Chains A and B, each alone.
Chain A
């Protein structure tokens, strides 16, 4: 049986076009064929998790059964009771499979890698979000088929963007008006073609043509060299165009299906400061961390008056958020350093913004300072990606 990874080659897009055609026609007439959507989603999931990847297919089924039992058991519990201990237990259980998968390479427990499958992180983010919203009382009812469609929505299964349950269900439960769908369809097709440019032209140019060369030269020069600087820029460009390209495919495909999956990137390299950058880069992930980790933690600290100073509180929040984000990327020193680096960058940024507010009159603000801010932010970010790439590990420690 054949296996196909999402958006990897022209054949996949051809299948996508054929598979989505009936959905497009239905939506153009204001109808959503839910049974057909379920069948076609299943077909695409089998393409991704079948064939020689069948072990991942088994993992994802086992994983889903556990998580669905957890979600519905917690929902049932929450209807009559609301203990913090049970809530924390539910969150821990929800992330446990992901934690085990992340620990596998660290301890080299080979047999455990059986649990892993493409996109486990992204489904886990969605599950945790549902559990937290059940706790908050913003989700009171769950539709089994709706949850399944949300968790397994195939255009975003491998790497997001991370949608929100209530937002997704609103789209999924109805067909958009014809006029609106025409606009969505136009945008969706445009995004997919922009994705081709990003992923198959620009990411290819930076990642496949240039990166191996600068990498070889930097390793040959050893230590800090102009080639290392070149590597930093090339890697940053490759990372952006590759991931933004993929995200455009995922969002574009969703739009074609009449689902407004949120965008993941918004011109990140014109950010004016690091805070602004995180509102533009991998947005659905940073907003997830903001809403479900940072804000909840700060809310808790403030309500219980655990910490007096609001500055300290914000900084504890940043450190927690970025350390978890670093650990989530993987248990290596460079991902953890990457997390701390961004936490400190944002702490410094906040301090600067406070200083700026106090001295509004003395600090100039013009076209030049604006360009300076953008260039500085870009370089702070590029350096963080150099840490993230693991290239420094290869260069200095291998």
Chain B
């Protein structure tokens, strides 16, 4: 790695550090982006359809219209993220060209490549990627991801998958941290990850990049649950703008993340939020998006 690209990669990891303790919200219009910013979102994810609608609509789901993304960039002062399809490096080039703050190479969209992810080291702009376990997380980081999130089943309002992924990740990190150094070589082979990255996890007891929760978070309690399980922040997709009172629910989730161990406060925040998104059970859905890209 040249000094310049190493520098860039560090700056991109640094931006994720600034987002910690915050909530990143899916928005589809400048107006929703404004509501999200006012409610205390630390960043917004601009997309044409939120995951629940993508799931309902079916068909091929692609990167959003750059014009729509620009409209959201103009509406808010916080960082704006957008999604490209797994492996679709030209969609990523387009997002970089419109000066996006973070690209989510996302399983929520239809994968463009069923073998390869994007070589993210070739980009100046940062990427966040989903991961269900430590192996997947370190493979994405080796490809250049500067932030990781769980791959909880999007658009369901069901938090079970995000919980499973976060628990798997934390438990594997603890296992690796307790290994003897000479055991790391075999563990790296079994996980299918570079030894150097696994050594970093072993030495520091954490991922080399920031790790957020995503997928199925619908209530302040869901968000606080993910934080107590070790998430450093939370993505909320369909959970806000598919609910009865988006502004109030969004603000409540933000406060619950800032004070995720204070049950009394979270109890107050959970009152009178109106209807949560209806939600579908993970076992009731035909398409498991988390199975995309491994």
Asked if chains A and B come from one complex, the reply is no
